[in-house]
Amino acid sequence: METIKSDYLDEKLDQVRAKDFLKYRSGDLPTWCPGCGYFGIMDALYKACRELELKHEDICTVSGIGCSGRTPIFINSYGFHTLHGRSIPVATGLKLAREDLTVFAVAGDGDALGIGGGHLPHVARKNIDITFLLFDNSIYGLTKGQSSSTTPHEMKTNSHPVGNPDTPLNPIKLALAYGASFVARGYAGDPEGMKTIIKQGIQYKGFSFIQILTPCVTFDKTNRTWKNLKENVYNLTLHTQADNMETAMRAAENEPFGVGLFFQDKERLSYQDILRNLNS
């Protein structure tokens, strides 16, 4: 296969090589738009894996369809780019089959909350030990700018040119309500903060739900822009244990966006541990 190389890319590659998490990158270059928030997410992911010293072959990244669906291509791990909305069930099967693997399930807002929305409550209540990364840019990017389940009310999109008639979902509140036992939020502009959250998520034995706020620089010029996001996020200063559901719910109210760990239930057993208990 012929690879197109430009000076820009060479330069970019050199920069990346200079960092020690390079080895978690695959040889393929991301196809996302320049300036996309997803680059930041990837950086955080690489760093988290490095710091936890995960073996490449023991990581499996499962994605759905959409811009986020490409994620596994860019991680030097086993990767499975599945169907729209279905990263959760596939990751569930994979984790139950192979407890030894670290399984990431990746989904966009349309993927996870729209077409695949039905899977979320169940993976949460079962407490399957996977790390779920919701790349939330509140728009359909790959199909070029239609409203998603998190697009703000009255925002103009290509599917709703006079304004989105729907009320957006609040993913953190949903996850809390579904009984997810680890609920956190990251921000694409803060790779360090995200890294910490992702690391915690990986280490957490159970379903960890991580919403990541990210702009779509191409199809959202008004709402979730880098500028707006920057102005609207703050670091959560919750109780360090983050074990209070009510506090978490309140903190999950709409903007400004609290970033950090909302809630975790350290006592709760993962699905496989529950099965072991039941069958012993």
Helix, strand or coil, per DSSP, at residue 246: helix
Say whether residue 122 binds another protein (CB under 8 A). Answer: yes
Site string for another protein, 12-41 (x = CB under 8 A): --------------x-x-------------
Cβ distance to another protein smaller for residue 87 or 223: 87
The set of residues, in sequence order, having a beta carbon less than 8 Å from that of 254 and lying 6+ positions away, is 170
Say whether residue 178 binds another protein (CB under 8 A). Answer: no
Cβ distance to another protein smaller for residue 128 or 242: 128
Say how far apart CA 147 and CA 157 lie, in whole Å. Answer: 6
- One-letter amino acid of 163: G
* Beta strand segments in the chain, E: 59-63, 78-81, 102-108, 131-136, 182-187, 208-213, 233-235, 257-264
Say whether residue 72 binds another protein (CB under 8 A). Answer: yes
Element (H, E) at 276: helix 271-279
Say whether residue 78 binds another protein (CB under 8 A). Answer: yes
Under 8 Å between Cβ of 185 and 8: no
How many C-beta neighbours within 10 Å does residue 97 have?
Answer: 10
- The least distance separating another protein from the CB of residue 210, rounded to whole angstroms, comes to 20
Say whether residue 119 binds another protein (CB under 8 A). Answer: yes
Residue from 76, 138, 148, 211 binding another protein (CB under 8 A):
76
- One-letter amino acid of 14: D
Residue from 12, 30, 54, 81 binding another protein (CB under 8 A):
81
Q: Which stretch binds another protein (CB under 8 A): 49-57, 156-164, 178-186, 259-267?
A: 49-57
Task: Tell me 152's DSSP state.
Answer: P
Say whether residue 183 binds another protein (CB under 8 A). Answer: no
Say whether residue 57 binds another protein (CB under 8 A). Answer: yes
∠ Cα 120 126 131 (to 5°): 60
Under 8 Å between Cβ of 177 and 209: no
Say whether residue 4 binds another protein (CB under 8 A). Answer: no
Q: Which stretch binds another protein (CB under 8 A): 35-43, 73-81, 154-162, 217-225?
A: 73-81
The residue among 138, 119, 16, 12 whose CA lies nearest residue 66 is 138
Say whether residue 94 binds another protein (CB under 8 A). Answer: yes
Say whether residue 110 binds another protein (CB under 8 A). Answer: no
Say how far apart CA 235 and CA 170 lie, in whole Å. Answer: 18
Say whether residue 239 binds another protein (CB under 8 A). Answer: no
Chain centroid to Cα 280, Å, comes to 35
Which stretches of the chain bind another protein, using CB under 8 A? Answer: 1, 26, 28, 55-58, 60, 62, 72-73, 76-83, 86, 88-98, 100-101, 118-119, 121-122, 272, 275, 279
